[in-house]
Homo-oligomer: A and B are copies of this chain.
Amino acid sequence: MSATATSQHDVLALAVRAREASHGLALATRATKDAALVAMADALLARAAEILAANAEDVARAEAGGTPSNIIDRLRLTDARLADMAEGVRGVAGLADPVGEVVRGSTLANGLELRQVRVPFGVVGMIYEARPNVTADAAGICLKSGNAVLLRGSSSAASSNAAIVAVLRDAVATAGVDPEVIQLVPADSHDTVKALMRARGYVDVLIPRGGAGLISSVVEESTVPVIETGVGNCHVYVDAAADLDKAVAIVLNAKTQRTSVCNAAESLLVHADIADLFVPRIVAALQQAGVRIHGDEVFAAQDGVEPATDEDYATEYLALEISARVVASVDEAIAHIRRFSSHHTEAIVTEDQRAARLFTAAVDSAAVLVNASTRFTDGGEFGFGAEIGISTQKLHARGPMGLPEMTSTKYIVTGDGHVR
């Protein structure tokens, strides 16, 4: 923390340095980029002591400030977590280079050769909260996709992030990549977030990662194009034609396997035709797993179920808590989802092909699953190898974002003196 806070001018200066360096990175071969990624992974391990010492400062500051223990847990780095971080970056070296991929191509009637080719965005801004591992993840993904990156982490992780960025910058330099492609934006004041949001022309895309408040404020205020990530009020709809064993397993997994993540289920819809059989069974199973249930009249008739309000249906609990409701039809389930969903992930459990087809066509979310847990909406599960976030918006990228989603395209058109 410095005495004088970082100004907008300072942030733009970082962006200008990132832009300058991005020109070289955009032309770097995959071999160069992979060597830099391996050097980054090696350096995270070789200089672990330095990073852990910096992290200990952050943790001590958080403890002194009375930060809740679950937040401190997310902030804390260990040898094991550093090793995971390094493996994540090393893994990106093994992935295909999206830059230069020909998305489409043809020869036009007049002989012009047309190719649409993936190219880096240029300069990416990341704005994120607590976890310092995002610093290394984002740096690795941006480097492989040919983008310079401005990293604006949380002030609570300022020392950790500074140490990680110092290590990564040194590492890429040993591989012949300009270290200015990785920039740490000081977290000494909220003004640096504002500066990023106003850096149109300097920053090509902003990706906020964190809580709903952070994301909505960036989306509302930024003049830089934003990719919206993460908020997930995800539904599981158990259809009249569901296999109830599969339904119980999917609902439990979607709600309880990990509660703090955006692809966890937050709301359960059950077709009226099976409510008599299924409601008592799923209530018992959820309660046994420690889940608090907010239900409609049918659910609330069960012991221990609290009555649900519209606010419950709209809530992303991120906890052992779920809203639940009986619906008269697939159409009513779809209408409920239209009203309350955050358009992240919804699942239907059914053995009826017609119901599955209608649900997947009509539900307008980033991912729609049939007979599978909402927890599968994830770059790792989808086989992308790396994930920068899960987009819940419709422009550019929707759903888990891997390396190709971190690129734009351009058309390269080759002629031989062609004129119109």
B-binding residues in A (CB < 8 A): 23, 26-27, 106, 108-109, 112, 114, 116, 119, 121-122, 200, 204-205, 219-220, 223, 225-227, 243, 245-246, 249-250, 252-254, 257, 338, 356, 360-362, 364-373, 375-377, 381-383, 393-396, 398-400, 408-420
- In the bound complex, what is the Cα–Cα distance between A395 and B418 (angstroms)? 29
Residues of chain B with a CB closer than 8 A to A413's CB: 367-370, 372, 376-377
In contact, B420 and A373 (Cβ under 8 angstroms): yes
In contact, A412 and B360 (Cβ under 8 angstroms): yes
User: What distance in Å separates the Cβ of A195 from its nearest Cβ neighbour in chain B?
Assistant: 16
Residues of chain B with a CB closer than 8 A to A377's CB: 411, 413
- In the bound complex, what is the Cα–Cα distance between A63 and B367 (angstroms)? 53
In contact, B367 and A411 (Cβ under 8 angstroms): yes
In contact, A219 and B223 (Cβ under 8 angstroms): yes
In contact, B220 and A366 (Cβ under 8 angstroms): no
How often does this chain occur in the complex, in copies?
Answer: 2
Which of B365, B370, B395 sits near A205, CB closer than 8 Å? Answer: B395
Which of B112, B227, B400 sits near A395, CB closer than 8 Å? Answer: B227
In contact, B418 and A373 (Cβ under 8 angstroms): yes
**Prevailing SS type, chain A contact patch:** mixed
User: What distance in Å separates the Cβ of A22 from its nearest Cβ neighbour in chain B?
Assistant: 9
In contact, A257 and B420 (Cβ under 8 angstroms): yes
Residues of chain B with a CB closer than 8 A to A364's CB: 26, 119, 122, 410
User: What distance in Å separates the Cβ of A335 from its nearest Cβ neighbour in chain B?
Assistant: 9
Which of B27, B121, B223, B257 sits near A220, CB closer than 8 Å? Answer: B223
29 A-B residue pairings within 8 Å (CB atoms) = A23-B362, A26-B364, A108-B383, A220-B223, A246-B416, A250-B418, A250-B419, A252-B419, A254-B419, A366-B410, A367-B410, A367-B413, A368-B410, A368-B411, A369-B412, A369-B414, A370-B412, A370-B415, A371-B418, A372-B413, A372-B418, A372-B419, A375-B420, A376-B415, A377-B413, A394-B408, A398-B409, A399-B409, A399-B410
Residues of chain B with a CB closer than 8 A to A205's CB: 394-395
Given contacts A246-B417, A254-B419, 13 further A-B contacts (CB under 8 A): A26-B361, A109-B383, A219-B223, A243-B417, A252-B419, A364-B410, A368-B410, A368-B413, A369-B413, A372-B419, A376-B415, A398-B409, A399-B410
In contact, B412 and A122 (Cβ under 8 angstroms): no
User: What distance in Å separates the Cβ of A397 from its nearest Cβ neighbour in chain B?
Assistant: 8
- In the bound complex, what is the Cα–Cα distance between A399 and B117 (angstroms)? 12
User: What distance in Å separates the Cβ of A390 from its nearest Cβ neighbour in chain B?
Assistant: 10
Residues of chain B with a CB closer than 8 A to A393's CB: 225
Residues of chain B with a CB closer than 8 A to A112's CB: 372, 376, 381
- In the bound complex, what is the Cα–Cα distance between A108 and B381 (angstroms)? 8
- In the bound complex, what is the Cα–Cα distance between A410 and B346 (angstroms)? 11
User: What distance in Å separates the Cβ of A26 from its nearest Cβ neighbour in chain B?
Assistant: 7
User: What distance in Å separates the Cβ of A282 from its nearest Cβ neighbour in chain B?
Assistant: 14
Residues of chain B with a CB closer than 8 A to A356's CB: 414
Residues of chain B with a CB closer than 8 A to A122's CB: 364, 394
User: A361 with B27: in contact, given A368-B410, A419-B253 (CB under 8 Å)?
Assistant: yes
